[in-house]
Structure 1
Amino acid sequence: MLILFKIVIAISWIAVVFCLLLPVILLRLRVPPQKRSTQDLKAYQLYLLVPMHIEATIAQDALAHFLQRNIDTDFQYNIHWVVIEDGSTDLTEDQLRPFDKRYPNLAVIYRKFQAATGKGMALNAGLDYLRHKVPSTQWSKTIVGVLDADGQIASTALLKVLKTFAADAKLDMLQTAVAMTNTKRWLALVQDFEFQVFNTLLQNLRGHLKNVAGSGNGQFFRLSSLPTKFAWGQTLLEDFEISTKLLLQAKKTAYAYDLKVYQEATVSWQAYLRQRTRWVIGGLQCLHQFRKGLGQNQALRFGAKVEMFAFMLAAYTTIGLALTNIVALGLQVYLLVSYGRLSLILVAVLCLGLIMNSMLAYIYRVMAQASVAQAILIVVTLPFYAVLTLPIAISGLLGYVQHHHNWDKTDHGIL
């Protein structure tokens, strides 16, 4: 039994040290910025697909902001919004009607049949609209973006997206960075930290492995690169699903860390846990859908496959590591109470964790122009935020096993 305990402790410490050192490793794996063309972009068109389901609180403001941001740009009519009104049961449709057919670069699609079946199906409806609107000869120079209803991106960033695709004819998908607009509350602040630091580090790793994945808001695709039918499926992680489909077909994906899409963070615990549970279920659905094809694929590198499997298996590894750490922590407490000894390894790991959190908080302060108080708050509370991954993993795993696969959207405009 003693040997078993030692093995558990060893595994726990190895996992903890690995998790603490991983950010340092990822910081050394910076990907060069994307090249951007200086040629004339008049031949390029950008269509932003924006699904809206029960978004009456923000629909009108979202469209008004889009028109205002693009009113004086040189490419005003090269940038379009295609809003998919997805069978809302509130006043979303009434909010959209005043904008419909009034502006040449804004269109609204009203879904009445088979609506409200998930974000993927709404995006497919928007894609079908584009394929009928844009001549097939122009598909290679037509860029399709995906934004949530609360997404905000500057017109200058959209122009850089077009320049990135123009500079690389082989580029099929570009994922931008994501940041939060509302960071006054702690829960929103740590989400902003998660997206701006951890997600960027992960995407940098994927950039080296050649498997950059879709990650929420701010995905852009070359229209000619997307599947002709049912590009998006019905998993609850439609962003990772579509990028995986492209990667399995040897398509090129990239990450633009210097371009940001801003969105609302969830500010209530109920909404936060519901959103993250949906992501866990979606990852497990992707694992079921792609495990065979991913394992047999010859185009992807071995390291890329390992990272993708690890991402989809996160629920299992989170639960396993959490249980291992709980046992190890219990043994450390037992040694302290029974023999008055505090493990030097424990002290070293705690110090290492404090140093690591401080470094990451400093990086966040630079990237997000956060205050000193916000950076200190992150350093102190980041371990608590990490603990939240365990109930989320358990909730997601139970939801997947019990087939709770309905799209449970995040509410917007409740700040």
Structure 2
Amino acid sequence: MQFLYFLQQALVWLITVYWIYQLVISLFALVKIKDKPYIVDKKHKFLAIIPAHNEEAVVGNLITSLQDQTYDSKDYDIYVIADNCTDKTEQIARESGANVFVRTETDPAKKTKGAALQVFLNKILNDPKADYDAFCIFDADNVVDKHFFTEMNKHLCQGEEVVQGYRDIKNPDDSWVSAGYAIFYWTMNRFYHLARYNAGLSPLINGTGFMVKMSAIKDEGWKTKTLTEDIEFSLKTIIKGKKLGWATTAIVYDEQPVKFKPSWSQRARWTIGHIQCLAEYTKPLTRSTFENKTLTNFDGLLYMLGSIPMFVITILLLLLNAVFYLTKGMSTADFTLNILKFIIPTFILPIFTAIFVMIIDKRPIKKMMKGLILYPLFLGSWLLINFKCLFKRETTWEKIEHVRKVDINTINKDDKK
């Protein structure tokens, strides 16, 4: 029992130090820093890439928003990867004015976004006529702010090679589920990505609305093998000793699931992808931390260790508390206090953090009240997903249906209300 007591205290201190570190870094989200000076002043040529599998309902609005940029249209091309489509995605993309790359794949293991990007980007890298400076990835359900390429060009001129744009939500108040996503992303955008960018650390790319300089993948191409190709590419970049950038003013609006079942499937895929990255990149991240001796590498390592491992440690700590209580080694008052120490920061504090973010980012709170009230349920379901994925992992890509036909003009009108 003495050993279990020391184990409990060690885990408490480990979790405490971890969250103190996260809190200190998050404070940089409240600091306004000066723009970096230009290293070069030019208009770069962009390649907009849209991986799409049966996205006929939404891909047209994305293409329209990309065509309506303030950036000169001769300085970017739009390509849709029609990935094993059986609907009118290819036809609509061509009619909307985009170039189309048709991909057919019979191997279920390769029917993923990462695999589609790998095939297409290898084609571009091997094309002597391709003269792109950078590419940007968008999910087919997105719509994009008209200043996106202009803002990304600024970051290229500042010398940044991999930059994540601001991932906003085009349907935040459709349901408590989509509201949960919106609250989660708004919080992460400010207190994880922006905070790390301001602190001189590395944000992460986040699925869509990000830019990569062509030279960054020239040597090895786009090679990802996990279900979370965005996190994987971010970690590979950090391992090389490089920092990713963040562009608050390069905004992309993403559609989120409205119903719980597809949300569960999507978040389970993300968790499995994190577990895959944990197995694949923890050792290289640890090695790079000692070799490069930078806080950026250490922070990247903490990101991986702070996901599933920290979840497991928390479960173990709760079990130890239960053992002590049931064996009369802990009073009811102490047991209750320890449970509250878990419940309050896990389920209650995120609500107030979200409200704070919405206030400083000038977002309407009233229409998000249902999402705020049910946010603990959204987070709690994620804990259940994590627990399930520890024992059962489905690695087949499951498509999330996108049906919200929202154009960029509608979003701009809503933002002005």
Q: Which residue number corresponds to residue 54 of structure 2?
A: 54
SS at match of 2:202: coil
CA contact (8 A) 1:365 1:375 kept: no
Q: Deviations over 1:301-338 (max 9, x none)?
A: 45444433343342232133134236547977999xx9
SS at match of 1:110: strand
1:363 pairs with 2:363 = no
1:388 pairs with 2:381 = yes
The CA distance in 2 between the partners of 1:348 and 1:385, in whole Å, is 19
Q: Provide structure 2 residue ranges, at least 5 long, that are not aligned to the other structure.
A: 406-417
CA contact (8 A) 2:358 2:365 kept: no
C-alpha change, 1:283 and 1:352, in structure 2 (3 Å) is closer
Alignment of 1:261-410 (within 5 A): 261-297=252-288, 300-301=292-293, 303-313=295-305, 314-325=307-318, 328=321, 357-367=351-361, 369-372=363-366, 374=368, 378=372, 380-400=373-393, 404-410=394-400
Q: Which residue number corresponds to residue 77 of structure 1?
A: 74
Q: Which residue number corresponds to residue 411 of structure 1?
A: 401
The CA distance in 2 between the partners of 1:355 and 1:233, in whole Å, is 35
CA contact (8 A) 2:286 2:301 kept: no
C-alpha change, 1:339 and 1:62, in structure 2 (3 Å) is closer
Q: Deviations over 1:172-228 (max 9, x none)?
A: 111122121111111111211111113432224543363332211111011111144
What amino acid maps onto 1:80 in structure 2? D
The CA distance in 2 between the partners of 1:164 and 1:254, in whole Å, is 8
The CA distance in 2 between the partners of 1:16 and 1:245, in whole Å, is 26
C-alpha change, 1:87 and 1:76, in structure 2 (3 Å) is same
CA contact (8 A) 1:174 1:254 kept: yes
CA contact (8 A) 1:280 1:397 kept: no
SS at match of 2:364: coil
RMSD: 3.6
Once the two structures are overlaid, the 10-residue window that deviates more, 15-24 or 282-291, is 15-24
SS at match of 1:155: coil
Shift of 1:375: 5.4
SS at match of 1:47: strand
The CA distance in 2 between the partners of 1:340 and 1:229, in whole Å, is 58
The CA distance in 2 between the partners of 1:291 and 1:16, in whole Å, is 19
- In structure 1, which of residues 113, 117, 122 is the aligned counterpart of residue 111 of structure 2? 117
SS at match of 1:84: strand
Shift of 1:50: 0.7
C-alpha change, 1:143 and 1:275, in structure 2 (3 Å) is same
SS at match of 2:301: helix
Q: Which residue number corresponds to residue 130 of structure 1?
A: 124
CA contact (8 A) 2:176 2:370 kept: no
The CA distance in 2 between the partners of 1:349 and 1:395, in whole Å, is 20
* TM-score, reference length from structure 1: 0.80
Q: Which residue number corresponds to residue 232 of structure 1?
A: 223
Q: Which residue number corresponds to residue 190 of structure 2?
A: 200
The CA distance in 2 between the partners of 1:130 and 1:244, in whole Å, is 23
SS at match of 2:248: strand
CA contact (8 A) 1:315 1:394 kept: no
Q: Which residue number corresponds to residue 108 of structure 1?
A: 100
Alignment of 1:20-99 (within 5 A): 24-30=23-29, 32=33, 34-35=35-36, 37=38, 41-42=42-43, 44-67=44-67, 69-70=68-69, 73=70, 75-99=72-96
C-alpha change, 1:299 and 1:122, in structure 2 (3 Å) is farther
Shift of 1:79: 2.6
The CA distance in 1 between the partners of 2:228 and 2:194, in whole Å, is 20
Identity of aligned residues (%): 19
SS at match of 1:82: strand
Once the two structures are overlaid, the 10-residue window that deviates more, 15-24 or 368-377, is 15-24
Q: Which residue number corresponds to residue 176 of structure 1?
A: 165
SS at match of 1:203: helix
What amino acid maps onto 1:315 in structure 2? I
1:243 pairs with 2:243 = no
The CA distance in 1 between the partners of 2:222 and 2:361, in whole Å, is 34
CA contact (8 A) 2:58 2:404 kept: no
The CA distance in 1 between the partners of 2:344 and 2:228, in whole Å, is 36
Shift of 1:397: 2.6
What amino acid maps onto 1:88 in structure 2? C
The CA distance in 2 between the partners of 1:113 and 1:77, in whole Å, is 32
What amino acid maps onto 2:36 in structure 1? K
The CA distance in 1 between the partners of 2:366 and 2:215, in whole Å, is 46
The CA distance in 2 between the partners of 1:352 and 1:246, in whole Å, is 31
C-alpha change, 1:342 and 1:405, in structure 2 (3 Å) is closer
Q: Which residue number corresponds to residue 154 of structure 1?
A: 145
C-alpha change, 1:33 and 1:242, in structure 2 (3 Å) is farther
What amino acid maps onto 1:26 in structure 2? I
Q: Provide structure 1 residue ranges, at least 5 long, that are not aligned to the other structure.
A: none
Q: Deviations over 1:389-408 (max 9, x none)?
A: 322112323344xxx32222
C-alpha change, 1:306 and 1:229, in structure 2 (3 Å) is closer
- In structure 1, which of residues 214, 226, 234 is the aligned counterpart of residue 205 of structure 2? 214
CA contact (8 A) 1:361 1:375 kept: no
